[in-house]
């Protein structure tokens, strides 16, 4: 009996140590990023990269903010991301609903057609898209980015929402219809509230994708007043490959902070949303 | 493609002219023209004739007609960095001369420059003025008739004398044209920077031949000092070393010969140069993991005494002048030209030179207003660069250089010694060949690829490009 | 009910705007690429019709083959790692973790939030060897494994593995949360009943949990595949495709061909190949999906 108990305690300790290590591995980067953002340029070569910052070199933040023009970039990133997210959610729910619950010819084909897009590599579309935008005079507008964000976010979002909708019992809808709900009312009062978890999952995933986009904003936007945060990170590399590491990490820290805050605030909803059977296949 | 005898050698007169700030434009070129360049020349004369009509009134004198235009400038430097400062200052100064002038300054990361230009060229939407790369990339734009013949512009606005002849000669050599199609944004020499304290500690003299260089490497290594820092992650830092050895053993036109098919990259001499680099790597002269070190880190290693030597260009002075980064102090770092093998093949007064990134003018947007701006730019760039940054940009200047820092003076002195020049390893290579040369140099440094295989991969790429 | 759900007007309102946008921005460019693939050079630069020549070029192109192999290895390792470790972590949350469940899950999910550029720079510093040992080499060095200290990113034999490790690290938290959700959905009595029958540990997983987790595994595989097949940002950030081209993926090669070689035509062929691989891969995974649905 004692041996068994001892074994159990040993096992428990091992598990605890393992989980502790896991947490260290996950948390260390944020910590390192912040110390890195406070280092002077010479510290990078004089001391190992994992060493703590020797002082608080806040000039990196000043550099990042002034030269990186971060305030403007933040505004642009926020506008682009949120407008795109809004439409992605609307489209994902409506299309998802239409292809899973509604009866019409060709719905499977349309579903498959949207699903194909999960696989389209962004680079494939880059040059033709530039030509299309150029002809429509959309280069250097927020619209160009937002349209691309929405279109490239649709496939995965619809796929996710479809998974949720499949598990939505038909009885609920039937009851609503018997109570006299039309299709639009059904959508607004029944489906959308029930899709809360699915919508949160889509929002979270797409937010990270759009916020981190580099390739579209680099290609379509050249006006510095319209650039986004990620392009701002590029301001610290010069012609011959030199990098101002401190300023890079200062601006990375600044670009990550809003994500962290949003994540920590929404954390419960996000994890719940995702674990509540977000993806049902 | 236009062929012309490579005029990499700058004449002594040119070198003197470059520093004295006088000397007439003396671009010498010979050779035959192919159909494609003829087409370019023909169409550019067309533009010239069209513009000359409109400028009949404007060209009455040297006074700016104050034409209204907003030009767009695409650059790879932020407004407060390097050439970005100079371009912006000149634009703002020009606004005072021509109040109707305005400009939009756009910045892209240098890694994305080519992609940006490719997408813009594809829709015939190149900006009025943009930064680009000399050598092959610009040849493509010339052949596609996308950029302005700058010699015509300089002639028309009577300001050709403001370009350093040496810079002009270097640029026309690189673009393989008689006329100038780009404006220089630098005039740099390259060579070895060394940490004086470490040299003294190991008892090493500045080497002037490759044999001396080799024994210096060994001596430093034996003294427990890493002899060389090299930015293998940025690739070109490593190919420059191969180039240095190739030129000194085979002559300044060696790379050109191989590119033109007059020699093979796999010939013994070329392989020997690649072998040299691998030998150094195998001997541990670069330290461990050289392919993961970027140029900036390598430079800092030199300044902080972690490595004794570092190959880089004169632009490195901007790091050296930064007192917070340069732990070696105002006199701790020295410079020596690439060691010599045989004076008769390539002498000690021959330097590796380049004009850095260059400025081109998009043809579709070009008009007289741009022309007047270019005139102002060309006339003022030299002095602005010298007064603001103490740097030489390939334009004549009258500003006083005595206030420049020690490192800047050092570069000016070295430049004064230059009697001829040669270009970098990839200058004569097309983009595919140059990509192969750069990527595989990492495998060469690692020992994953032999020197023989490395040169063969370059030859193969060159053959497939010729197809 | 039928009438409401068969409302054609509503279907049009629900589907058409998204369909038009999606077609114009995602699919028209693909068709456009096909048209481009018949030309040599780049639009505006030596742009000439060349028929099927670009397609023949593909078969002679050693770089393409190398990139294909690198990309294939990467997909295999990262998919197994992300999905497998995600599953293991989820099982751990479920059966081992008693306290601080939500805290641990929050932390594990965290790397998903970081920008790829930042993660790349971070790992470059972890694997560093010159001018100073990075975290990994320092740990190895201080533990006495001096012969294991090496240039992790500087040699072809280890660079791809290091890259894969990074991408698994980034995404495993995301997969663990998905799997955890699926595990929560399994009625507790099923597990209880199995335990009473003497089924525990691996057997419990093998005979009870794994069939129930199959649909979610397929979904996770689709996610992972669609992410890994596009391999671009993380490799660009960590290794730039080097050393040599040991970590250069198809997308990176395509980007290079299009923008540094100025061969948009040939790059379009490569883009189409990537697209076909994607379709092929997803339909293979789709087959499992079908069989799992028939099981149900």
Show me where the domains of chain C are located. Answer: 38-295
* Interface A-C: count of C-beta contacts within 8 A: 256
- A11 and A136: one domain? no
By C-alpha distance, the chain A residue nearest C288 is A281
Q: Do B442 and C244 touch (CB under 8 A)?
A: yes
Q: Do A152 and C258 touch (CB under 8 A)?
A: no
Residues in chain C whose beta carbon is closer than 8 A to a beta carbon of chain B? Answer: 42-46, 124, 127-131, 150-156, 240-245, 248, 255-256, 258-262, 264
For the ranges A98-102, B106-110, C46-50, the one whose mean pLDDT is highest: A98-102
Give the separation between CA A191 and CA A202, rounded to whole angstroms: 15
Task: Write down the pLDDT at residue B219.
Answer: 95
For the ranges A87-91, A122-126, A217-221, C186-190, the one whose mean pLDDT is highest: A87-91
Strand pairing report for B183-184 and B357-361 = antiparallel
- Mean pLDDT throughout A160-186? 83
Looking at the complex, report in whole angstroms how far the Cα of residue B331 sits from the nearest Cα belonging to chain C: 23
Within a 10 A sphere around the Cβ of C293, how many other Cβ atoms? 12
Task: Write down the pLDDT at residue A183.
Answer: 83
Interface-testing mutation among A41, A44, A45, A125, with chain B (most B C-beta atoms within 10 A): A45
CATH number for the domain spanning A202: value is: 1.10.3720.10
Q: Which residues does chain C have within 8 Å of residue A131's beta carbon, measured at their own beta carbons? A: 32, 43
Q: What is the CATH number of domain B190-352+426-466?
A: 3.40.190.10
pLDDT category, B467, cuts 50, 70, 90? low
Give the separation between CA C215 and CA A278, rounded to whole angstroms: 12
* Range B128-155 burial, b when 16+ CB lie within 10 A, else e: bbbbbbbbbbbbbbbbbbbbbbbbbbbe
Within a 10 A sphere around the Cβ of C31, how many other Cβ atoms? 11
Give the separation between CA C82 and CA C222, rounded to whole angstroms: 12
Whether the Cβ atoms of residue C232 and residue C249 lie closer than 8 Å to each other: yes
User: Which has more confidence, A22 or B60?
Assistant: A22
Looking at the complex, report in whole angstroms how far the Cα of residue C149 sits from the nearest Cα belonging to chain A: 15
Query: DSSP of A177-196, one letter per residue?
Result: HHTT--HHHIIIIIIHHHTH
- Mean pLDDT throughout B101-128? 82
In a domain, A84, yes or no: yes
What average pLDDT is seen over chain C? 84
CA-CA distances (angstroms) from residue B310 to A186, B299, B336?
71, 7, 11
Q: Which residues does chain A have within 8 Å of residue C36's beta carbon, measured at their own beta carbons? A: 127-128
In a domain, A95, yes or no: yes
By C-alpha distance, the chain C residue nearest B300 is C131
Residues in chain A whose beta carbon is closer than 8 A to a beta carbon of chain B? Answer: 40-42, 44-46, 67, 126-127, 130-131, 134, 218-219, 222-224, 234-235, 237-243
- A165 and A77: one domain? yes
Give the separation between CA B37 and CA B52, rounded to whole angstroms: 22
What are the structure tokens assigned to B125, written together? 């939407």
- A100 and A225: one domain? yes
Q: Residue C256: enclosing H or E segment and its boundaries?
A: helix C250-259
Bridge partner residues of B71 (DSSP)? B103
Q: What is the 8-class DSSP label of residue B345?
A: T
- What residue ranges do the domains of chain B occupy? 44-188+355-422, 190-352+426-466
pLDDT score of B56 more than 60: no
pLDDT category, C69, cuts 50, 70, 90? very high
Q: Do C26 and A173 touch (CB under 8 A)?
A: no
Interface-testing mutation among C26, C36, C261, with chain A (most A C-beta atoms within 10 A): C26
Task: Write down the pLDDT at residue B34.
Answer: 35
Give the separation between CA A122 and CA B443, rounded to whole angstroms: 30
Interface-testing mutation among A225, A238, A244, A245, with chain B (most B C-beta atoms within 10 A): A238
**Residues B428-455: pLDDT tens digits?**
888 889 889 999 999 999 898 999 999 9
pLDDT score of C14 more than 80: yes
pLDDT score of A238 more than 70: no
pLDDT score of A1 more than 60: no
**Residue B175 forms contact with C (CB below 8 Å):** no
pLDDT score of C62 more than 70: yes
Q: Do C131 and B306 touch (CB under 8 A)?
A: yes
User: Which has more confidence, C118 or B171?
Assistant: B171
Q: Do B292 and C129 touch (CB under 8 A)?
A: yes
What are the structure tokens assigned to B348, written together? 């000690």
- A160 and A23: one domain? no
Q: Do C130 and B292 touch (CB under 8 A)?
A: yes
Whether the Cβ atoms of residue C49 and residue C39 lie closer than 8 Å to each other: yes
What class does CATH assign to B44-188+355-422? alpha beta
Q: Residue B226: enclosing H or E segment and its boundaries?
A: strand B226-229
**Residues B201-259: pLDDT tens digits?**
999 999 999 999 999 999 999 999 999 999 888 899 999 999 999 999 999 989 989 99
Show which subunits contact C, needing at least 3 CB pairs below 8 angstroms: A, B
- A91 and A211: one domain? yes
- A135 and A8: one domain? no
- A78 and A27: one domain? no
pLDDT category, B10, cuts 50, 70, 90? very low
Task: Write down the pLDDT at residue B397.
Answer: 87
What are the structure tokens assigned to A152, written together? 């490239």
Whether the Cβ atoms of residue B122 and residue A127 lie closer than 8 Å to each other: yes
| Topology of domain C38-295, CATH | MetI-like fold (1.10.3720)
Looking at the complex, report in whole angstroms how far the Cα of residue A233 sits from the nearest Cα belonging to chain B: 10
Looking at the complex, report in whole angstroms how far the Cα of residue A213 sits from the nearest Cα belonging to chain C: 9
In a domain, A112, yes or no: yes
By C-alpha distance, the chain B residue nearest A242 is B296
In a domain, A111, yes or no: yes
Please report, rounded to a whole number, the percentage of residues in chain C having pLDDT higher than 90: 18
B125 by Cβ neighbours in 10 Å (0-12 / 13-18 / 19+) ranks as middle
What are the structure tokens assigned to C107, written together? 């932390």
* Nearest Cα to Cα of residue C213 among A169, A277, A197, A170: A277
Whether the Cβ atoms of residue C42 and residue A129 lie closer than 8 Å to each other: no
- Mean pLDDT throughout C220-232? 84
Within a 10 A sphere around the Cβ of C45, how many other Cβ atoms? 18
Please report, rounded to a whole number, the percentage of residues in chain A having pLDDT higher than 70: 87
Bridge partner residues of B194 (DSSP)? B309, B334
**Residues B126-182: pLDDT tens digits?**
999 999 988 778 888 898 889 999 999 999 999 989 998 888 888 888 888 889 999
What are the structure tokens assigned to A204, written together? 């979270």
Task: Write down the pLDDT at residue B275.
Answer: 96
Q: Do C36 and A173 touch (CB under 8 A)?
A: no
Strand pairing report for B333-336 and B188-195 = antiparallel
By C-alpha distance, the chain A residue nearest B74 is A222
Looking at the complex, report in whole angstroms how far the Cα of residue C242 sits from the nearest Cα belonging to chain A: 16
Q: Which residues does chain A have within 8 Å of residue B233's beta carbon, measured at their own beta carbons? A: 241
Query: DSSP of B388-443, one letter per residue?
Result: HH----SB---S--TTS-HHHHHHHHHHHH-SEEE--TTTTS-HHHHHHHHHHHHH
**Residues B252-303: pLDDT tens digits?**
989 989 998 999 999 999 999 999 999 999 999 999 889 888 888 898 889 9
* Nearest Cα to Cα of residue A91 among C14, B127, B38: C14
- A76 and A27: one domain? no
pLDDT category, B200, cuts 50, 70, 90? very high
- Mean pLDDT throughout C77-97? 89
Looking at the complex, report in whole angstroms how far the Cα of residue C69 sits from the nearest Cα belonging to chain B: 17
**Residues B318-332: pLDDT tens digits?**
888 888 778 888 889
**Residues C205-224: pLDDT tens digits?**
888 888 888 878 887 888 88
Whether the Cβ atoms of residue A251 and residue A68 lie closer than 8 Å to each other: yes
Q: Do A121 and C230 touch (CB under 8 A)?
A: yes
Query: Three-class SS of residue B31?
Result: coil
Q: Domain count for chain A, please give it.
A: 2
Q: Do B292 and C245 touch (CB under 8 A)?
A: no
pLDDT score of B21 more than 70: no
What are the structure tokens assigned to C121, written together? 């720079």
Q: Which of C152, C242, C259 sits opposite B118 (nearest CB)?
A: C259
Q: Which residues does chain C have within 8 Å of residue A127's beta carbon, measured at their own beta carbons? A: 29, 33, 36, 43, 258, 264, 267-268
ipTM (interface predicted TM): 0.80
Task: Write down the pLDDT at residue A243.
Answer: 63
What average pLDDT is seen over chain B? 82
Q: Do B291 and C154 touch (CB under 8 A)?
A: yes
**Residue B215 forms contact with C (CB below 8 Å):** no
Task: Write down the pLDDT at residue B274.
Answer: 96
Residues in chain B whose beta carbon is closer than 8 A to a beta carbon of chain A? Answer: 74, 76-78, 80-82, 104-112, 115-116, 119, 122-123, 125, 231, 233-234, 294-297, 299-301, 304, 306, 312-313, 315, 319, 324-325, 327, 356-357
At what angle are helices C116-126 and C135-142 packed, to 10 degrees?
Answer: 30
- Mean pLDDT throughout B411-440? 88
In a domain, A43, yes or no: no
Looking at the complex, report in whole angstroms how far the Cα of residue A150 sits from the nearest Cα belonging to chain C: 8
Q: What is the 8-class DSSP label of residue B292?
A: G
Task: Write down the pLDDT at residue A280.
Answer: 44
Q: Which of B119, B234, B357 sits opposite A241 (nearest CB)?
A: B234
Q: Which residues does chain A have within 8 Å of residue B116's beta carbon, measured at their own beta carbons? A: 218-219, 222
Q: Do C45 and B287 touch (CB under 8 A)?
A: no
Task: Write down the pLDDT at residue B334.
Answer: 94
Range of the domain at A27: 2-36
Please report, rounded to a whole number, the percentage of residues in chain B having pLDDT higher than 70: 86
Q: Do B439 and C241 touch (CB under 8 A)?
A: yes
Give the separation between CA B181 and CA B171, rounded to whole angstroms: 8
Show which subunits contact B, needing at least 3 CB pairs below 8 angstroms: A, C
Q: Please tell me the pTM assigned to this model.
A: 0.80
Domains B44-188+355-422 and B190-352+426-466 share a fold: yes
pLDDT category, A276, cuts 50, 70, 90? low
Looking at the complex, report in whole angstroms how far the Cα of residue C156 sits from the nearest Cα belonging to chain A: 22
Which residues are CB-contacts of B261 (< 8 A; sequence separation ≥ 6)? B466
- Mean pLDDT throughout A24-32? 79
CA-CA distances (angstroms) from residue A208 to A96, A269, C192?
21, 16, 38
Task: Write down the pLDDT at residue C134.
Answer: 81
Show which subunits contact A, needing at least 3 CB pairs below 8 angstroms: B, C
- A129 and A29: one domain? no
B219 by Cβ neighbours in 10 Å (0-12 / 13-18 / 19+) ranks as middle
Which residues are CB-contacts of B141 (< 8 A; sequence separation ≥ 6)? B117, B121, B132, B147, B181, B360, C45
């Amino acid at each position: 009996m004692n041996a068994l108990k001892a074994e159990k305690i040993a096992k428990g300790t091992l598990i605890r140590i393992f989980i502790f290590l896991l947490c260290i591995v996950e948390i260390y980067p944020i910590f390192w990023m912040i110390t890195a953002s406070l280092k002077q340029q010479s510290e990078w070569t004089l001391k190992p990269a994992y060493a703590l910052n020797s002082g608080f070199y806040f000039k990196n933040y000043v550099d990042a903010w002034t030269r990186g023009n971060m305030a403007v970039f933040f505004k642009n990133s926020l506008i682009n991301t949120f407008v795109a997210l809004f439409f992605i959610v609307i489209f994902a729910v409506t299309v998802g609903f239409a292809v899973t619950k509604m009866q019409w010819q060709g719905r499977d084909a349309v579903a498959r057609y949207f699903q194909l897009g999960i696989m389209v590599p962004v680079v494939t579309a880059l040059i033709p898209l530039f030509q299309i935008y150029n002809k429509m005079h959309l280069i250097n507008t927020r619209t160009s980015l937002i349209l691309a964000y929405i279109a490239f976010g649709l496939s995965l979002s619809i796929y996710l929402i479809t998974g949720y909708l499949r598990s939505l019992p038909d009885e609920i809808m039937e009851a609503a219809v018997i109570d006299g709900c039309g299709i639009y009312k059904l959508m607004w009062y029944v489906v959308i509230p029930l899709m809360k978890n699915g919508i949160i999952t889509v929002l979270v995933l797409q937010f990270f994708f759009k916020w981190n986009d580099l390739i579209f904003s680099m290609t379509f936007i050249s006006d510095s007043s319209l650039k986004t945060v990620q392009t701002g990170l590029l301001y610290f590399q010069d012609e011959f490959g030199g990098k101002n590491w401190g300023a890079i990490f200062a601006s990375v820290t600044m670009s990550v902070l809003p994500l962290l805050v949003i994540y920590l605030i929404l954390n419960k909803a996000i994890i719940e949303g995702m674990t509540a059977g977000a993806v049902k296949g | 493609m236009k062929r012309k005898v490579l005029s990499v050698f700058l004449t002594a007169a040119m070198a003197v002219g470059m520093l004295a700030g006088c000397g007439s434009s003396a671009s010498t070129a010979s050779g035959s023209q192919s159909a494609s360049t003829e087409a370019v020349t023909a169409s550019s004369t067309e533009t010239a004739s069209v513009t000359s009509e409109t400028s009949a009134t404007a060209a009455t004198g040297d006074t700016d007609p104050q034409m209204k235009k907003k030009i767009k400038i695409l650059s790879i430097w932020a407004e407060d960095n390097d050439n970005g400062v100079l371009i912006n200052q000149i634009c703002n100064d020009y606004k005072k001369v021509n109040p109707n002038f305005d400009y939009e300054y756009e910045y892209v990361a240098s890694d994305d420059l080519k992609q940006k230009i490719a997408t813009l060229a594809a829709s015939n939407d190149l900006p009025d003025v943009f930064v680009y790369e000399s050598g092959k990339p610009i040849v493509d734009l010339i052949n596609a008739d996308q950029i302005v013949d700058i010699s015509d512009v300089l002639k028309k606005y009577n300001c050709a004398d403001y370009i350093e002849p040496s810079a002009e000669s270097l640029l026309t050599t690189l673009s393989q044209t008689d006329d100038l199609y780009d404006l220089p944004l630098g005039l740099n020499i390259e060579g070895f920077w060394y940490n004086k304290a470490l040299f003294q500690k190991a008892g090493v003299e500045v080497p002037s031949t490759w044999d001396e260089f080799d024994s210096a490497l060994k001596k430093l290594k034996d003294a427990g000092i890493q002899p060389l820092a090299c930015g293998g992650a940025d690739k070109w830092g490593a190919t420059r070393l191969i180039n240095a050895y190739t030129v000194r053993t085979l002559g300044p036109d060696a790379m050109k010969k191989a590119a033109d098919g007059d020699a093979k990259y796999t010939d013994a001499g070329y392989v020997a140069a690649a072998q040299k680099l691998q030998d150094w790597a195998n001997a541990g002269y670069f330290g461990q993991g050289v392919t993961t070190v970027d140029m900036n880190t390598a430079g800092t290693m030199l300044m902080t005494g972690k490595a004794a030597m570092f190959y880089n260009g004169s632009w490195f002075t901007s790091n050296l002048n930064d007192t917070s980064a340069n732990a070696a102090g105002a006199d701790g770092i020295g410079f020596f030209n690439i060691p010599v093998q045989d004076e008769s093949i390539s002498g000690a007064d021959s330097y590796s030179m380049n004009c850095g990134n260059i400025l081109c003018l998009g043809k579709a947007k070009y008009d007289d207003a741009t022309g007047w701006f270019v005139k102002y730019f060309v006339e003022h760039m030299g002095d602005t660069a010298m007064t603001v940054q103490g740097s030489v940009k390939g334009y004549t200047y009258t500003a006083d250089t005595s206030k420049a820092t020690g490192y800047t003076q050092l570069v000016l002195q070295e430049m004064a010694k230059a009697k001829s020049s040669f270009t970098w390893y990839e200058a004569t290579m097309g983009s595919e060949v140059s990509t192969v040369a750069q990527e595989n140099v990492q495998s060469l440094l690692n020992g994953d690829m032999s020197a023989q295989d490395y040169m063969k991969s370059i030859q193969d790429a060159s053959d497939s490009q010729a197809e | 009910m039928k009438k409401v759900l068969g409302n054609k007007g509503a279907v049009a309102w629900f589907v058409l705007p998204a369909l038009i946008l999606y077609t114009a921005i995602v699919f028209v460019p693909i068709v456009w690429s096909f048209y481009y693939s018949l030309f040599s050079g780049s639009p505006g630069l030596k742009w000439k019709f060349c028929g099927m020549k670009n397609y023949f070029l593909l078969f002679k192109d050693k770089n393409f083959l190398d990139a294909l192999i690198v990309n294939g290895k990467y997909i295999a390792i990262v998919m197994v790692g992300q999905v497998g470790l995600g599953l293991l972590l989820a099982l751990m949350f479920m059966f081992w973790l008693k306290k601080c469940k939500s805290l641990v899950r929050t932390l594990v999910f965290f790397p998903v939030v970081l920008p790829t550029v930042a993660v790349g720079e971070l790992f470059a510093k972890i694997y560093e060897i010159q001018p100073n040992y990075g975290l990994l080499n320092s740990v190895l060095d201080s533990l006495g494994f001096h012969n294991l200290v090496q240039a992790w990113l500087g040699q072809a034999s280890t660079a791809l593995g290091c890259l894969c490790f990074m991408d698994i690290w980034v995404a495993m938290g995301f997969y663990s949360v998905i799997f955890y959700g699926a595990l929560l959905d399994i009625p507790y009595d099923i597990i209880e009943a199995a335990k009473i029958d003497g089924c525990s540990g691996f057997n419990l997983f093998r005979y009870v949990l794994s069939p129930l987790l199959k649909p979610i595994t397929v979904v996770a595989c689709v996610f992972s595949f669609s992410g890994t097949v596009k391999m671009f940002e993380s490799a660009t950030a960590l290794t730039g495709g080097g050393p040599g081209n040991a970590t250069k993926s198809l997308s990176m090669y395509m980007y290079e061909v299009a923008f540094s070689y100025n061969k948009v035509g040939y790059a379009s062929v490569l883009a189409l190949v990537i697209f076909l691989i994607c379709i092929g891969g997803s339909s293979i995974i789709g087959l499992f999906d079908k069989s799992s649905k028939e099981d149900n």
